[in-house]
Structure 1
């Protein structure tokens, strides 16, 4: 019997080892961030329980899962566009597909119908599996008895290398058209993922993001969507650059 004041450590360990994000590994457009935002103990505990009840999948359908945890309104008509990361990723996708003059209704429609769905064109992965409100905020040491969760450093030491290897392997298996890593603070990890993939050599654009293409995939390392000073045009240009690279003959065949 587990106290309501602690996570179920068995489930917590499983989600750390097995959960990677949302969407479809067969999708053309992959986005890889550091970790999901999260709230307090009760909110995170509910997420973990629902993940377990829903067969402990490696990647979930984002709308179905958020419906299960009580946030299904984000994927229904009239949905609020209150998740800045999602808005930005959608802007990149629509730009990569050739759309200009993207407005909020374009973004809302894509969020409701396409983003992170199990049978659609996107895959949204996280380098680290546990949600947290910020880098400075770490509740797991307080509500778990797992020693590797005593602080963020021990947690990252426990799971980072395994997840880097796993994500790299999934990219090699599925060969998406584009993989966008967002958050320059974790650039060393993004580079460690791509170092395991053949012929990935980044160059820096005039806008400051990094981009390259091998024979299968365009790779981008970009600022985080909520970084201070970034504009919609910055992410629009990333999408257009992806489209250009997809259309180019690869340097390495």
Structure 2
């Protein structure tokens, strides 16, 4: 399946993630996950153009519908269990997502609500647009694998020279995307925005302060196995948290993790 210019450009310009801008809790990840195979990328962007082709503004979409259109690729023991990404994350034999489970814990801690069965919540409630509980936003739109490999330089799209490297791509899209995300903060006034896995903390803080001149960041030190180091700012009615930490264990090691429910509670 080829990656074509029109759906690629539409995704790059208009796709911002999943859920609802009206939600009170926003999670902003560094970039859209996946992207190991061009067939997966093509399936996502083609569906987005078909379903959201009339979009003229930053768009959040239905994650479950997107995932129905993305085939499940695997050579391992799971290969015969799932036909698409929806089955893998939301079906009867769904697998708990290593990041989402901690985002769910963070949200319930912040809301001072009892922690639910994490897998059941993922399957039935997480980032459901109509519920307007969460927005799952991506700072950078192109699906990219966790190893940060950069496959897009191989695309036959010479009209997009910024795809030659990750650095050029991020530089090309950063300004308009962070401004659009911050504008949505102004418009919808979420209670809390957690930006996680960010490796450009200083640039982000500068962008926020250019958009919100009165914003002042306070750095909160990490408490091992409890709360990650983070930068905190009040943006009027919105509390913004920026951290380099990803809500998942690194290499499966417990000593690299934090209590994301406790983190949420600490911000109430």
Cα distance, 1:165 vs structure 2? 0.9
Q: Deviations over 1:93-146 (max 9, x none)?
A: 01112135x4xx621232122222212210011111100114641111112312
| Map of 1:215 onto structure 2 | 236
Separation in 1, partners of 2:4, 2:64? 25
TM-score computed with the length of structure 2 as normaliser = 0.80
- Other-structure match for 2:31: 35
Match of 1:75 in 2: 90
> Are the counterparts in 1 of residues 249 and 257 from structure 2 also a CA contact under 8 Å?
no
Match for residue 113 of structure 1 among 96, 113, 124: 124
Give runs of aligned pairs for residues 25-174 of structure 1, distance below 5 A: 25-38=21-34, 39-56=36-53, 58-69=59-70, 70-73=84-87, 74-81=89-96, 83-99=97-113, 102=115, 106-120=117-131, 121-134=133-146, 136-145=148-157, 146-174=160-188
Deviation for aligned residue 1:213? 2.6
Task: Using structure 1 for the length normalisation, give the TM-score.
Answer: 0.84
3-state DSSP of counterpart to 1:27: coil
Cα distance in structure 1, aligned partners of 2:197 and 2:173: 19
Could you tell me how far 1:162 is from its partner in structure 2? 0.8
2:79 corresponding residue in structure 1: none
Q: Write the deviation string for residues 182-215 of structure 1: whole angstroms up to 9, x where unpaired.
A: 0141313432442213543222224222223343
Q: How many Å separate the matches in 1 of 2:130 and 2:149?
A: 34
Q: Does the CA contact (< 8 Å) of 2:27 and 2:196 recur in 1? A: yes
Partners of 2:192 and 2:240 within 8 A in 1 = yes
Distance 1:178 1:90 in 2: 14
Q: Per the alignment, do residues 44 and 214 of structure 1 end up closer, same or farther by CA in structure 2, a change over 3 Å counting?
A: closer
Q: Give the secondary structure class of the aligned counterpart of 2:26.
A: strand
Q: CA deviation at 1:153?
A: 1.8
Cα distance in 1, alignment partners of residues 205 and 22 from structure 2? 23
CA distance in 1, matches of 2:153, 2:233: 39
Q: Distance in 2 between matches of 1:203 and 1:164?
A: 20
- CA contact 1:79–1:112 (8 Å) conserved in 2: yes
Cα pair 1:212 1:219 within 8 Å, conserved: yes
Distance 1:199 1:112, change over 3 A: farther
